[in-house]
Amino acid sequence: MTRADPFAPRLPSPLQEVGDNRFARHGLRLLLKRDDLIHPELIGNKWRKLVPNVEAAGGRALVTFGGAYSNHLRATAAAGRLLGVPTTGVVRGQELAGRPLNPSLSRCAADGMRLHFVERSVYRRKTEPETLAAILRAAGAEGAYVVPEGGSNAAAVRGCRALGEELRGHTDVVAVACGTGGTLAGLAAGLAPEQRALGIAVLKGGFLTADIQALQERAFGARSGTWTVDDRFHLGGYARTTPALDAFAADFGQRHGLPVERLYVAKLLHGLVALAEEGAFARGTTVAAVVTGRPFP
Ligand SMILES: *Cc1c(COP(=O)(O)O)cnc(C)c1O
């Protein structure tokens, strides 16, 4: 890659130790793995997940799926602009069509993404082959390379293995917030045998362990690495928050000088503080938290 390459990432991403008494008083070290600094416009785990897909697409247009505030849709739109690949975003909610775009969808459109709104009942069935074909036809995206909602397919999971590899020899535990779990699936496979990965679910449902195992089987042929998921810190579901979580995120950001993304990263850090308090980590343990993104806008 040359310096002028608009895609040139900052890899490995920086790893920073932070002094935080909520960990230190339990004999723990806290590191931040700054994947939010990989690329100014294609941030964090989205860079790791999308780049292998853009390569697999071999110049074809990309089509993907998301809700009205999806980080994944914005990242796909940014990837399309940076690489000159046309993108289509299939958005959940026909009722959004014809209304002014929210800031997240405006950003997608400004990056050149064509937006196609579908009814929620249709959106739910988008992985059925006939429904998918009908959606692509209606969106004018036949022949495009399909990236699933949330971006987690085998290529994406394999792309996240490098995140684990970058952390070899630096930490005992790596913690990451999980949406689809694709990042955890890849990261865990890249770690050394004595390291373990911990996922903090931000969605309610309890389905993640099975999903992550299935993603690893598709990407690597088998379950790989040592990992678990903790389902106790989603606060009721995706994008659900509390004044306490908002205060926690603002305070953490101020203490350590980084903007804390609220949908994923705040729940991860909040969960880690609770786990440290519970004594979930033995004294002397080093814990690395992956900062997978930054706040939007
Ligand atoms: C998309 C996203 C995640 C979730 O990644 P998965 O691979 O779906 O688990 C985590 N953090 C941030 C900031 C994200 O944008």
122 CA to centre of ligand 1 in angstroms: 24
200 CA to centre of ligand 1 in angstroms: 11
**pLDDT given at position 1:** 46
Interatomic CA distance for residues 3 and 51, integer angstroms: 17
Residues 110-143: b if buried by 16+ CB within 10 A, e if exposed: ebebbbbbbeeebbeebeeeebbeebbeebebee
Beta bridge partners of 18: 30
State the pTM of this model.
0.96
46 CA to centre of ligand 1 in angstroms: 7
**pLDDT given at position 206:** 87
Q: How far is CA 47 from CA 41, 52, 71, 77, 172, in A?
A: 9, 9, 12, 12, 25
Ligand 1: residues with CB < 6 A are: 44-46, 71-72, 150, 152, 177-183, 261, 264-265, 292-293
**pLDDT given at position 14:** 97
Q: Interhelix angle for 71-83 vs 103-110, to 10°? A: 20
**pLDDT given at position 297:** 84
167 CA to centre of ligand 1 in angstroms: 18
CB 255 within 8 A of CB 20: yes
Mean pLDDT by 10 residues, the chain (297 residues): 66 97 98 96 92 94 96 95 94 94 97 97 97 97 96 98 98 98 98 98 94 98 98 94 97 97 97 98 98 93
Residue 9, Cβ density class (10 Å: 0-12 exposed, 13-18 middle, ≥19 buried): middle
**pLDDT given at position 6:** 64
Which amino acid appears at position 7 of this protein?
F
**pLDDT given at position 151:** 96
45 CA to centre of ligand 1 in angstroms: 6
Which residue in the block uniquely carries the two structure tokens 């949406």? 179
Residues 71-93: b if buried by 16+ CB within 10 A, e if exposed: bbbbbbbbbbbbbebebbbbbbe
pLDDT in tens, 193-208: 999 999 999 999 889 9
DSSP class of 128: S
Q: Which domains does the chain have, with CATH numbers?
A: 5-40+153-290 (3.40.50.1100), 61-143 (3.40.50.1100)
**Which atom of ligand 1 is least distant from the CA of 36?**
13
Interatomic CA distance for residues 276 and 22, integer angstroms: 7
61 CA to centre of ligand 1 in angstroms: 23
**Which atom of ligand 1 is least distant from the CA of 156?**
7
To test the ligand 1 pocket, which listed residue (71, 208, 215, 261) has its Cβ within 8 A of the most ligand atoms? 71
The structure tokens listed for 6 are 């608009």
Pairing of strands 145-146, 114-118: unpaired
Measured distance between the N- and C-terminal CA atoms of the chain, rounded to whole angstroms: 29
Q: How far is CA 31 from CA 66, 74, 282, in A?
A: 31, 28, 16
Smallest CA separation from ligand 1 atom 3, residue: 179
Cβ neighbours for 282, distance < 8 A, ≥ 6 positions apart: none
**pLDDT given at position 4:** 54
Among residues 120, 130, 75, the alpha carbon closest in space to that of 93 is found at 120
